[in-house]
Amino acid sequence: GDIVLLAKPVTLTEGDRVTLTTDVPVATDGTSKPEKLLYAVSLPPVHGQIEHINYPGVPISSYSQLDVVAQKVSHVHDNSHGASKEALR
């Protein structure tokens, strides 16, 4: 089926952590199986990383819609002083 992705930009300031919710990345593929809908981080944050909350400090390159629904994925700013803000798209 068709995949529909809606994403609101998330802006973090130095040292922030934002948990991704279904308000940020919302995707549907016509099925009712969110665990099978995967997001790939094709352009990682420059000043931080995407992390699973069970493994803080470890960057991830993919996560599922089920992870988002369970609020298990965060965008973490690395606290670098040269970049006071960063946006996740």
pTM, 2 dp:
0.73
Tell me the C-alpha distance between 18 and 79, whole Å. Answer: 13
Percent of the residues in the chain that have a pLDDT greater than 90, as a whole number:
21
User: Mean pLDDT in the chain?
Assistant: 78
Residues 67, 51 contacting (CB under 8 angstroms): no
- CB atoms under 10 Å from CB of 88, counted, come to 21
Strands 25-28, 4-7: pairing is antiparallel
Residue type, 15: G
Tell me the C-alpha distance between 63 and 84, whole Å. Answer: 26
Three-state DSSP class for residue 34: helix
With cut-offs at 50, 70 and 90, classify the pLDDT of residue 56. very high
